[in-house]
Amino acid sequence: MMLRESQIMKIHYVTGIAAIFVVAVHIMMRLIMPFGMSLEYDNVIANYHNIPYVVLLESILVLIAIHGFNGLRVILLELRQSKSWEDGVTILTIAAMMAVVAYGTRTIIIANGLGFE
C-alpha cells in the first residue's frame, strides 16, 4: 500500500503532537523525586513494572521512531531527488525505524520482568 505524501505528513504531525504529551509525562516521572535518585536501578526497574508506564514508554518509542525517521527521510529527499534515491532512503529509514522499535521493545519486555528468572 502506497501512502501519499500528504497522508505521510499528517502522520508526521499527529505523531509529533502526541510525542510532546507522552514525553512530557516521561520527563515528569524523572522529577517526582530528586533526579539522581530517579535513576537508581531499583527505581528505574520499578517504572518498568508499572504497566501504564510501560504502555507510555512503548508509545514514546513508536511515536518518536515514526516521527524521527520520517523527518530524516524528508530531509534526505529535500537534498536530492531521483527515483532510486527516494526508494533507497524510504527503505533504509523504514528498516532503521523497525530496528529501533524492535530493540527498544526488547528492553521494555526484559526490564518488565518477562525475561528474568
86 binds other proteins (CB under 8 A): no
Closest to other proteins by CB, 23 vs 29, is 23
Exposure of 68 in the CB half-sphere (CA atoms within 13 A): 14
Query: Binder to other proteins among 13, 49, 88, 95 (CB under 8 A)?
Result: 13
23 binds other proteins (CB under 8 A): yes
Query: By C-alpha distance, which of 56, 68, 57 is closest to 15?
Result: 68
Buried b (16+ CB within 10 A) or exposed e, 60-90: bbbbbbbbbbbeebeebeeeeeeeeeeeebe
44 binds other proteins (CB under 8 A): yes
69 binds other proteins (CB under 8 A): yes
Closest to other proteins by CB, 3 vs 46, is 46
Least Å distance, CB 8 to other proteins, is 13
75 binds other proteins (CB under 8 A): yes
The CA distance from 74 to 88, in Å, is 13
